[in-house]
Amino acid sequence: MTIPKVMVGHEPASSASQLSAVMHPPQRLATPATLRATLWYVLSSAATVILAISLLHATHRLANAGLALLLVDALMAGYLLRAASRVLATPAFNLLTAMLDPRPLRQSFKRMLLHVSTH
């Protein structure tokens, strides 16, 4: 049995640091994206409260104030989908279809039920 050589570019890895760099590539941190999303969430929450209070005073109907929550939630969902798409380097449509695919959920339920029935 032969052990395959680890390649760095077109040359075999010659040092431990080169081998370590190949085996443990630097991670792409999502921290700036997380901070940006947090800032947007805080700002949108403040805007929601202001919009809800304005709608409540203008219309005197609590249901209209709830629309402000729905609107901001929809906008944040769109923003977070786009941000996740950038972090994962995957088109937003692919992420959306993966989230809406019921097959992984069904498989998880089957495994859970199988686990429960065997214990």
Q: pLDDT by residue (tens digit) across 18-68?
A: 445 544 544 555 578 778 888 888 998 898 889 889 988 998 888 888 888
Pairing of strands 11-12, 7-8: antiparallel
Domain-located, residue 19: no
Amino acid 25: pLDDT: 47
Range of the domain at 46: 30-86
Amino acid 93: pLDDT: 92
Domain-located, residue 77: yes
Residue 106 pLDDT exceeds 50: yes
Number of domains in the chain: 1
Domain-located, residue 98: no
Residue 13 pLDDT exceeds 60: no
CA distances from 94 to 42, 83, 84, 89 (A): 28, 13, 11, 11
Average pLDDT over residues 70-87: 87
